[in-house]
Structure 1
Amino acid sequence: MKKFILVLNLGSTTTKVALFRDLNCHIVKTYSHDKELISQGINEQKAVRYDTIIQFLNESNVNPEEISIVAARGGLLQPVEGGTYLVNDDMLNDLTSGKYGEHASNLSGILAAEFAGNYNIEAVITDPVVVDELSVQAQYTGIEGIRRTSIFHALNQKAVARKYASSAGKNYEDLNLIVIHMGGGITVGAHHLGRVIDVNNGLNGDGPMSPTRAGSLPAAGLLKYIDRNNLSHQEFNKLISKKGGLLSHLNTEDVRDITADIDNGDAHSAEVLEAMAFQIGKEIGAKAAVLHGEIDQIIFTGGVSYSEYVMDLIKPYISFLAPVTVYPGELEMEALAYGAYTVEQDRSLLKTYKAEVSHD
């Protein structure tokens, strides 16, 4: 009897796997991988990562035949609207080729499709990081030929938005919310009646600095820095997406270590963390303007929101705008299970991914 939803969430260093009965988590485990494996390309990691999934099922005493559907974290794809998508050939080709970028999250959909094919079931993804519901105005920049694109923590942002709406006895689609995910990257989204009409690109140099990302940078200063340090494109991308923010200033991205240093009198650490809070508050203010000041709730989530020190730094900048709710951590596994469960109950909600047609 098929009774479980298998949830896959592959990150750069871990494989997180869960089993849900309907919307109730039966078991969840996180497996860490060694540096030798994660230093390889995603296609070279496939076999070991797939074996990890089978290991999880064996440890859970669950036969693969008991699984009804696989729910996977979405990877780097072409921009799509929010929702749950079938992992079809078009999606699999884009994930495997790395057409829109290589990231460990691509493996979630790839391995979900492999598992689903082996057991004649469906694999789906929900709210991938490339969800793009930006308003036309939000897409514009000051240079023709350069457009703002949407890359953010769509899965968790929409999950906590729905959780808040449910707790308030309302529908997500009836609310104006500002949602802030604070993890290794920080994204601030303006949610207008169920659509994220403006959000900073949390990966490629936009918005507030974060534990590992640079955020927005002065263009002239950036060009001088690149010339002075003779950076290649690859080195530059690594600088803004993996070696920026708190890590660049303080040689650590761990907010717990930083606050401990502050408690011991480290004034520089205090100044840097206050600067990050300032930038987050400023970004929230910008999203308030996008929503014309009509904000039902401001919602914080992600690992950094566990820090009361950081939250106390941010709140004075934004508390006059709307009430604040904090959901520390993330709800990604629950959100993936929810997406799969809803399309099992109502097939009309299942969306189809179509590859972009090349005009070469």
Structure 2
Amino acid sequence: MRLVLVLNLGSTTSKFALYEDRECVVNETIAHELAVTQLPLTEQAPKRQATIERRVEEAGYHFEDVDAIACRGGLVKPIEGGVYHVDAHLYDELKAFKYGIHASNLSGMMGYQLAQKFNIPVFTIDPPVTDELMPIARITGIKGVERISRFHALNQKGVARKYAAQVGQDYPDVNVIVAHMGGGITVGAHVHGKVIDVNEGLEGEGAFSPERAGSIPNDALYRYGYDHDMTPEEMDHFLSKKTGLLSLLGTNDLTQLSQQYGKDTEVTRILDAMAYQVAKLIGERAVAFKGAPIDQIILTGGIANSNVVTEGIRQYVEWIAPVSVYAGEMEMEALASGVFDVLEGTVAPKYYK
């Protein structure tokens, strides 16, 4: 029996899971107090680690029995997707927050500390900075400004691999379009195991989401910021936290809004628009395949739990390829699966350079 510990730390919670031979036996979400989450991230790490160590023991497991640790990826320099050793070099990069200050970095930092303490190998899989873009997908109309690849790589690649396995194929053997729809929305063109084009969801490119504005006509965007006397920092916070469904309908509760669909004219109009904008992104990604057959369009993330949205998207894109729904996020499963692949010798882990 092999035992893998999975770590997925966010801004206010720490998720951990234990998998025995690919079966999840423990899955917990720890909601931390404000006294912890308001500390600088480097000061949060030891407190969160102590809590997780205690909860693992309380669940009846011991770190001496753990064969490997799987960690959510953090913000480092752009790298190709895959499984990576969390070694001293990667740990130093995560700890320095050189490429962005985000709680996701804590997963690898904590994993490395636990690995050193208990002599366990530790890995990270498909971080959000996964970059496999084809060169022309980077170009914009402003010299010196290029698109970058930051998206829901872990869940997108996880559900793509799951689909491939279900049809008896390996991930590099299939062509799929994956739409991750959650707090942000990213749609990727997965061409033989590489995401060669994807919208930059962290910066708000693409469809509007529950709290994000999505792509806005340039003139309207800069005039809005100017008219409201916003600094770049204020505009960034506004576009990523106070727009989308929150601005349009006063709530980001998609479950509630889905129940009002067809009864409330404005709710119906806005949800139809969200589905249409996601569908347009899927249509854009279809171009990247240059006419090669697309095996499947996959809808995933929390919003995929809404039949209103998924069926709205389906009516626009089913002519491109069959549509399947993998609702929710499968990040913990994807992290565990990547490490089991290493332990079983089917995948060779890479090193961050």
TM-score (normalizing by structure 2)? 0.95
Q: Which amino acid aligns with 1:30?
A: T
8 Å CA contact 1:73, 1:336 repeated in 2: yes
Paired position in structure 2 for 1:236: 235
8 Å CA contact 2:124, 2:335 repeated in 1: yes
Q: CA deviation at 1:55?
A: 2.5
Q: CA deviation at 1:241?
A: 2.1
1:152 maps onto 2:151 in alignment: yes
| Alpha-carbon distance in 2 for matches of 1:303, 1:349 | 31
Per-residue CA distance 1:334-358 (angstroms, 9 max, x = gap)? 111111122223397111112xxxx
Paired position in structure 1 for 2:300: 301
8 Å CA contact 2:211, 2:246 repeated in 1: yes
Q: CA deviation at 1:260?
A: 2.9
Q: Which amino acid aligns with 1:255?
A: L
Q: Which amino acid aligns with 1:161?
A: A
1:250 maps onto 2:249 in alignment: yes
Q: CA deviation at 1:45?
A: 1.6
Instruction: Return 5+ residue gaps in structure 2 as ranges.
Output: none
8 Å CA contact 2:341, 2:347 repeated in 1: no
| Alpha-carbon distance in 2 for matches of 1:36, 1:227 | 37
Q: CA deviation at 1:120?
A: 1.3
Per-residue CA distance 1:251-308 (angstroms, 9 max, x = gap)? 2212012123435x33222222111111101110101111124211101111110111
Paired position in structure 2 for 1:271: 269
Paired position in structure 2 for 1:217: 216
Paired position in structure 1 for 2:278: 280
Paired position in structure 2 for 1:357: none
| Alpha-carbon distance in 2 for matches of 1:202, 1:291 | 21
1:169 maps onto 2:174 in alignment: no
Matches within 5 A, 1:1-360: 3-262=2-261, 265-293=263-291, 294-346=293-345, 349-354=348-353
Give the root-mean-square deviation of aligned CA atoms.
Answer: 1.6
CA 1:35–1:244: 2 relative to 1, 3 Å: farther
CA 1:232–1:44: 2 relative to 1, 3 Å: farther
| Alpha-carbon distance in 1 for matches of 2:132, 2:175 | 14
Task: Report the number of matched residues.
Answer: 352
| Alpha-carbon distance in 1 for matches of 2:197, 2:234 | 28
Q: CA deviation at 1:242?
A: 2.3
Instruction: Return 5+ residue gaps in structure 1 as ranges.
Output: 355-360
| Alpha-carbon distance in 2 for matches of 1:183, 1:33 | 22
Q: CA deviation at 1:185?
A: 0.7
8 Å CA contact 1:205, 1:217 repeated in 2: no
8 Å CA contact 1:43, 1:96 repeated in 2: yes
8 Å CA contact 1:203, 1:213 repeated in 2: no
Q: Which amino acid aligns with 1:167?
A: Q
| Alpha-carbon distance in 1 for matches of 2:349, 2:70 | 12
| Alpha-carbon distance in 2 for matches of 1:249, 1:48 | 39
Per-residue CA distance 1:2-38 (angstroms, 9 max, x = gap)? 8421100112222110111231212111112234433
SS of equivalent residue, structure 1 residue 76: coil
Bigger mean CA offset, 96-105 vs 228-237: 228-237
| Alpha-carbon distance in 2 for matches of 1:74, 1:271 | 37
Per-residue CA distance 1:204-239 (angstroms, 9 max, x = gap)? 021111112221111111111111122222212212
TM-score (normalizing by structure 1)? 0.94
8 Å CA contact 2:9, 2:72 repeated in 1: yes
| Identity of matched residues, % | 46
8 Å CA contact 1:37, 1:45 repeated in 2: yes
| Alpha-carbon distance in 2 for matches of 1:189, 1:20 | 28
